[in-house]
Amino acid sequence: MPPAARSTLRYAAAVAALAVLYWSAAWIGLRYVTIGHSVSLVWPPAGLAFAGLVLLGLRAWPGVAVGAFLANAMTPVPLAAAAGIALGNTGEALLAALILRRVAGSRPQLESPRHVRVLLFAAAPLGALVSALVGVAALHLAGDLDSRAAVRALPVWWAGDMLGMLVVAPVCFNWATRPLARDTRRVLEVVALVVGTAFATDLGLLETVYLPVLREVEYKYLLFPFVVWAAVRFGPRGASLVTLAVAAVAVWQTARGGGPFVGSQGGTLFSVAFYLLVLAMTGLLVAAAVWNERDHATRALQRSEERLHLALDAARMGIWYWSVETDLLVWDDNLRSLYGLAPGQPVGGYEGFLARVHPDDRPFVSESVTRALREGGSLDYEFRIVHPDEKVRWIADQGRVERDEDGRPRYLTGVCTDVTDRRAAEERLRQSHRMESVGRLAGGVAHEANNQMSVVIGASDFILRRTDVPDAVRADVEHIRKAAERTSAITAQLLAFSRRQILRPEVLDLPGLVTRWENVLRRVMGEDCVVVVRARPDAAPVRADPGQLEQALLNLALNARDAMPRGGTLTVEVLSAELTDQYLARRPGISIRQGRYTVLAVSDTGHGMDPETLSHAFEPFYTTKGVGHGTGLGLSTVYGIVKQSDGYVWAYSEPGQGSTFKLYLPAVEQALTSPAPPERAAAGPGRGELVLVVEDDEGVRWMTRRILVDAGYQVAEAKDGRAALESLAGAAAVRLVLTDVVMPGMSGRELADRVAEMRPDVPVLFTSGYTDGEIVRRGLLQPGAAFIQKPFSPDAIIRVVRERLESASLPAMPPTGSLPAAFDSQESA
């Protein structure tokens, strides 16, 4: 048979079955007609039709229409009225099914509170209202109901159809969308519950079987615990079956004129309808709430178990058991893998375990196990093991001791984890923190040194400019200035290490830079060293300060020369690399940006470094050379230069195998930077403008004043921000504020903000022993602010002051013979 024919046959069979079921249920419902010939207390076909269209699809509506027409045609009403009632029954099922299917699809889950709410408060009441309105209208037009009877019939019809959907449809949904339970005991429980509930209902509602003890009790409501228990124990299935059983007995007894609901006709109908409505809603809502919570709890438990399994797998935890009495040692395959053994490979007893422990850690391991056996408690320690291939790994072992009734140890059990990578990451993190701490200290020292060197260099320049200085004194001063310059050079290296030196980054060709330096490197290394340069011309450009990179290359070359006192080979390479996820996974604990890099690698064939020396290689003032052979700042300067250029530097070395330093610099796609234009000529002299110098260091303040006064400026002084504001408030002649950034109390940036409020026409020039990049990072200075770093030469400060005044476009003040009175106290101070 063709597929289309089979589909048509299945559709016809479904429609016919639905029509037969509807007619059969209607035959039962019409036996309990309460008003006219077609108004029943509960209308089961409404529930069957509703469930049929939800489960089979809306296209099965002809089955409802045919079944409803045949059922109503059995009554004495005219055929026209029967057709109208059938139309209402069909519309009722279509509307209710459409509403529920939009939310729940063709398989409603009454464990879902949302599906239950739609069923109770939308699908059933709205669908029943359609049937009631159309059906009562058809009977009234046919003369079967007068106006007063039609008014009374409308709520009864609506309640009967809605109860049919709430009592019958849930049973169909629950038993049609889920397979029967395979557990025979559970099936028997459900059967026993339904039969028991029906018996209890009959016992409580039958007037002929009367319990005197319940005479004064509304005992019909004692059936609610059965519904609640069924909802909790069996979910929506149990609740729907019990509700159906109670409804069947209640309607049967009420229709026979018995039970607690009998009264006037209107009162009886209202009592039964309200009772069954509350009963059905209770069962459905309780079942949905309980099973929804149970489902959430089950899902949460499953997720927790999945996370636990994932964590155990990710941690590669191995389980072990050791019998103290028999020396039986049992390992799972995960633990064998941690020890470098094959699955199922014998492990031996306790001595076999100790043989795999690193020789230096065996006493510690043995003592830990002995102490746990002697004192009780648990094991929690880390030690090294040696794989069959001589690889050394770190293991974390946690276990506990189990004892017999006499307190003697019976066995130990626990888990092991490989923590080699974690310990390596912790060591790298400690090293990073140590370098950061030393860098902060170095930066602070450099800041203070810059202040003092500003005074020394400035004072030396003033002395050397004088013509009346004796030659002997001039020579001494020149030595002082040279010493200050050397100190400034060391300070610059400290700033480089701490990543606080001034950078002038350019987009440059690193292979070209290295090639140009090849001859310089040969002269630096000497004739007994071979210099090999391999610079790939296709390596991407980098953005860095060329002078700083040349300094880094020179420092690495000098370090290599010192490591090869008898000659050797220096290899300098430039190549491209990409840091991927796989590479980052090999360096846990370090924040590294993925992407393309250009690498500068410098290798030597010197004596190399042991792990201890390598761990301190980039620390300032750390050196293995003798006194007078270097400052210990060469590699630390390289570290700072690369870090400040957003790169990374790693060292690889072993004793007797030489060393390799790799500098990773981010690759850029920009065009190479053009050569810088020549520097401008020195600035002209001042024209009597008044400059307010704010500096907490008295020596620097004095030297700055001396430089500016000699250059033709008027100068007022303030030792902090508060004094500067007081002075500024009383003088309108100030044309520039030159302030230190880092001061006690009010910072330079805070002072500048106050100056902008008081005198928006007065520009501010910042100075500091830190670089502009560092103080911007610390939030002490806005990007782009006018700034000059200490120590500054007289020419440099004069030029910057002149440029700042001219950029402000302010008219020059005519020279005056005296300062405003507001500054007198500052000068005398």
Tens-digit pLDDT profile for residues 772-816: 555 555 555 666 678 887 777 788 888 889 888 888 754 444 444
Q: For position 444, what pLDDT does the model report?
A: 60
CATH number of 3-176: 1.10.1760
Q: What is the DSSP track for 736-751?
A: EEEEESS-SSS-HHHH
Q: For position 435, what pLDDT does the model report?
A: 55
Every domain of the chain and the residues it spans: 3-176, 184-292, 318-418, 438-497, 506-666, 690-828
Tokens of 310: 């994932």
Whose CA is closest to 708, among 720, 697, 700, 698? Answer: 700
Label residue 201 by pLDDT band (50, 70, 90).
Answer: low
Cβ atoms 101, 161 nearer than 8 A: no
Task: Report the percent of the chain where pLDDT is more than 70.
Answer: 72
Q: For position 133, what pLDDT does the model report?
A: 92
Label residue 818 by pLDDT band (50, 70, 90).
Answer: very low
Token pair 């395959």 in the structure block, residue: 333
Q: Which fold has domain 690-828?
A: Rossmann fold (3.40.50)
Is the predicted pLDDT of residue 213 greater than 50, yes or no? no
Task: Report angle CA 474, 475, 477 to the nearest 5 degrees.
Answer: 65
Do the strands 568-579 and 529-535 form a parallel or antiparallel pair, or are they unpaired?
Answer: parallel
Out of 3.30.450.20, 1.10.10.60, 3.30.70.2860, 3.30.200.20, which CATH number does the structure's domain 318-418 have?
Answer: 3.30.450.20
Q: How far apart are CA 41 and CA 163, in angstroms?
A: 9
Cβ atoms 501, 637 nearer than 8 A: no
What is the arithmetic mean of pLDDT over 649-675? Answer: 82
What is the arithmetic mean of pLDDT over 588-615? Answer: 82
Tokens of 485: 């310059």
Q: Do domains 318-418 and 506-666 have the same CATH topology?
A: no
Label residue 264 by pLDDT band (50, 70, 90).
Answer: very low
> In the beta sheet, which residues pair with residue 765?
738
Average pLDDT taken over every residue of the chain:
76
Residue 178 is given by DSSP the state S
Is the predicted pLDDT of residue 98 greater than 50, yes or no? yes
Alpha-carbon dihedral sign for residues 447, 451, 456, 460: positive
Label residue 105 by pLDDT band (50, 70, 90).
Answer: confident
> Domain 506-666: what homologous superfamily?
Histidine kinase-like ATPase, C-terminal domain (3.30.565.10)
Give 826 or 337, the one with higher predicted confidence.
Answer: 337
Q: How far apart are CA 219 and CA 544, in angstroms?
A: 91
Is the predicted pLDDT of residue 53 greater than 70, yes or no? yes
Label residue 502 by pLDDT band (50, 70, 90).
Answer: very low
Q: How far apart are CA 562 and CA 526, in angstroms?
A: 11
Q: For position 403, what pLDDT does the model report?
A: 87
Whose CA is closest to 129, among 118, 141, 121, 117? Answer: 121
Tokens of 487: 């100190």
